[in-house]
Structure 1
Amino acid sequence: MDADARIAVLGEELRAVRKGLGLYQTTLPSVAGPVLLDIAGATATDPPGTVRDKLVATVRGLITRLPEGRQELARAVFGLDNPDNTGYMDRLVEQGRAADRDLRTMQRRANEVVYLLAELACVYTPAAAASVDTVPWHTKRLDVRLVLRGDDVEVFETRRVVSHEPDLVDVAHSISVGQSGQGKGPVDLAALGIDEISGGEVRSPRMVSADRVAFTLRPPAPLGPGDEHDFFFRIRATDIAPFYCCTPEFDCERFSLNIRFEPHRRPTRVWRINGELSKEAADPTPTRATLQVDDTGEVRTDFTNLRPARSYGIGWAL
């Protein structure tokens, strides 16, 4: 197959995977065509989850090679920035609204993006991808349970990461433990408990701001491209600001948050923080979707396809 024919075939395959929820459609492993699968390094023996991870990593790497002005549209075209799980045409409408362009114009631009990605993919090699795509891993699933007991706060986090590189031995992580105020100073690292429960070791905890602690998670063995691994750990604090958010540095496919309040200290209002700028996440002023606390004092919500550097979580007022 000559280069022009390969670009044409790959363009058709990319148009197939952009439909619906794009790279997060449930049928992705069976919809993806043979040329795209070959470029992604997916094999017939790979389970569906591994095929998806390889396809997502491949398209993400190709997008980073586009001109900066086209990258946002490309991410929307393939559903990489889609916190509300909207379909393909709705994503284009949203992009058109932001750019003040009609749907037909956005469809033309989306087709141009597909062609450019197909052209790039035809000279795509793992080595070239590694030199551009510097994302070492992403989160496939994050489950957090936050328990409030008087002045004690416990956070139980289970995180499934997917490696993008060979011999991944350290997963850099951080968590902000904002305090509720009352004249208190920076968080005391010595009083902050970070305990690994399963899946590896917590190493080198250190304060990187007044309320953010960074540390490294080390799996029992190095991870290779497409390998998945679960970490489960607990963080204990003596105070917390009235909100809890995930603000991912890299892509996060799914985030589930469950908060349990004490029966005698139930909040008067609880709201959902969905893809906001991190500096605005703690602001109780904006109008947001209300969440309900159940009879046991728990509130929960889920997010999918979280965008890096945006905040997702729950806020409350006592």
Structure 2
Amino acid sequence: MDQVAAGTKIDELSAELKALRKGLGIQAPNLPLHVGALLRQVCGIQDDDSPGTVRDKVAETVRSLIKRLPESQREVARLVFGFGTPAGQRYTDRLTQLGTGADRNVRTMQRRADDVVYLIAETAYAAPGRLTHAGRKDPWHTSALAVRLTLGGTGAEVFETRRIISHVDGLEEIEHSVSLARPLQPGQPLPTLEGLGIDVVAGGEVHSERMVSSTRVAFRLRPPHPLDTGDQHEFFFRIRVDEFPSPFYCCTPEYPCESFDLNVRFDRRRLPARLWRIDGEFSKDAEDPLAPRKPLWPDTVGEVHTSFHDLEPARSYGLGWQPAG
């Protein structure tokens, strides 16, 4: 689960970073012309900065963001953006070099390059004072989130209770979204609205359901009346998923979240072979089953419970598991 505005901002910044990596990447003579609006904000670029200053700020910022990536991703990121590569080496040549070194084809390396660019965008979003909070005030935050996930067959049912506190007067709608990971097997169809049911059980109504990316569905929650500053309100809604291929469930908040309580009920006939806690990771890393994490075990009825406090925006919190067999 995540908030649509956070995902949209990260997607937009990721697109700007992809434009930056083209051609000669960070070494391009016309680099200052390819710096998008969000990237300018992240780099602290002013309207009166000279082209040389723009170049220096972009290079310094991207280099510092790369340093914050997991060690296994840093060399890929440096090569993707052209740090330390021979003069005149274009993006496709750098991908070929990366593929040769890792014994993978260029198409596979393109996917790795896209993943590392997204990680950098997430890192920038999570950086205090850069993209998350610059120039705006959070309209609300979550004081308590409780999720009950029941897995059965190929589908799942999610019951979510969310209590929010308004930071503004006249808050009429809460933007929300659900992220569904890509299918595990090649050739399986992507998620669609038809395979997702969203119903408010109490606290308002749902409207404006729409696909905002190939794997994310956005919708709006409308309380019975507008909320003023300091007002609290609780929504209780249900989400039904016909296909639940992804072996993990996470909350990735856009705005601060004080507490998140998660209970997952597995089919006792199909308990996972392994189960672990995901605590404050980048969303791309949440799917990685190899990262070292704290193990958990279901109880006698097939349930596992965990909780989190003071969740950071743009980081993922939840559970992952390895299906039996």
Q: How would you bin the TM-score normalised by the shorter chain?
A: 0.5 to 0.7
Q: Which moved more, 1:177-186 or 1:256-265?
A: 177-186
Partner of 1:277: 282
Partner of 1:230: 234
Query: Superposed, which structure 2 residues align to 1:56-205 within 5 Å?
Result: 132-182=135-185, 183-205=187-209
1:258 paired with 2:263, answer yes
User: How many Å apart are 1:151 and its aligned residue?
Assistant: 1.6
1:286 paired with 2:291, answer yes
Q: Partner amino acid for 1:271? A: W
Whole-angstrom CA distance in 2 between matches of 1:202 and 1:179: 25
- Say if 1:179 and 1:239, in contact at 8 Å, map to a contact too: no
SS where residue 294 of structure 1 aligns? coil
Q: Which moved more, 1:305-314 or 1:187-196?
A: 187-196
Q: 1:261 to 1:180 in 2, by over 3 A?
A: farther
Partner of 1:34: none
User: How many Å apart are 1:179 and its aligned residue?
Assistant: 4.9
The Cα offsets for residues 93-122 of structure 1, whole Å up to 9 and x where unpaired, read as xxxxx9xxxxxxxxxxxxxxxxxxxxxxxx
Whole-angstrom CA distance in 1 between matches of 2:307 and 2:301: 19
User: How many Å apart are 1:184 and its aligned residue?
Assistant: 1.5
Whole-angstrom CA distance in 2 between matches of 1:197 and 1:142: 15
SS where residue 292 of structure 1 aligns? coil
Partner of 1:19: none
Q: Partner amino acid for 2:242? A: T
The Cα offsets for residues 229-256 of structure 1, whole Å up to 9 and x where unpaired, read as 0001111112220000000000000000
SS where residue 134 of structure 1 aligns? coil
Tell me the TM-score normalized by structure 2.
0.57
Partner of 1:90: none
- Say if 1:180 and 1:242, in contact at 8 Å, map to a contact too: no
1:295 paired with 2:288, answer no
CA RMSD of aligned residues (A): 1.8
1:314 paired with 2:314, answer no
Whole-angstrom CA distance in 2 between matches of 1:167 and 1:132: 20
Q: Structure 2: any 5+ residue segments left out of the alignment?
A: 1-43, 45-67, 69-133
Q: Partner amino acid for 1:212? A: R
Whole-angstrom CA distance in 2 between matches of 1:246 and 1:212: 13
SS where residue 206 of structure 2 aligns? strand
SS where residue 269 of structure 2 aligns? helix
User: How many Å apart are 1:177 and its aligned residue?
Assistant: 2.1
SS where residue 279 of structure 1 aligns? helix
Tell me the TM-score normalized by structure 1.
0.58
SS where residue 161 of structure 2 aligns? strand
- Say if 2:183 and 2:189, in contact at 8 Å, map to a contact too: no
Q: 1:210 aligns with which of 214, 218, 233?
A: 214
Whole-angstrom CA distance in 2 between matches of 1:186 and 1:206: 14
Whole-angstrom CA distance in 2 between matches of 1:290 and 1:191: 31
Whole-angstrom CA distance in 1 between matches of 2:168 and 2:156: 35
Q: Which moved more, 1:239-248 or 1:181-190?
A: 181-190
Whole-angstrom CA distance in 1 between matches of 2:243 and 2:267: 14
User: How many Å apart are 1:188 and its aligned residue?
Assistant: 1.4
Q: Partner amino acid for 2:257? A: C
Whole-angstrom CA distance in 2 between matches of 1:295 and 1:191: 31
The Cα offsets for residues 161-219 of structure 1, whole Å up to 9 and x where unpaired, read as 11000000010001112254233122110221001100001010111112211000000
Q: Partner amino acid for 1:237? A: V
SS where residue 186 of structure 1 aligns? coil
Partner of 2:248: 243
Q: Which ranges of 4 or more aligned residues in structure 1 deviate by more than 6 Å? A: none
The Cα offsets for residues 73-102 of structure 1, whole Å up to 9 and x where unpaired, read as xxxxxxxxxxxxxxxxxxxxxxxxx9xxxx
Partner of 1:50: none
Query: Superposed, which structure 2 residues align to 1:33-52 within 5 Å?
Result: none
Percent identical residues: 54
The Cα offsets for residues 4-50 of structure 1, whole Å up to 9 and x where unpaired, read as xxxxxxxxxxxxxxxxxxxxxxxxxxxxxxxxxxxxxxxxxxxxxxx
- Say if 1:145 and 1:156, in contact at 8 Å, map to a contact too: yes
Whole-angstrom CA distance in 2 between matches of 1:181 and 1:284: 13
Q: Partner amino acid for 1:141? A: A
SS where residue 264 of structure 1 aligns? helix
- Say if 1:143 and 1:255, in contact at 8 Å, map to a contact too: yes
User: How many Å apart are 1:152 and its aligned residue?
Assistant: 2.1
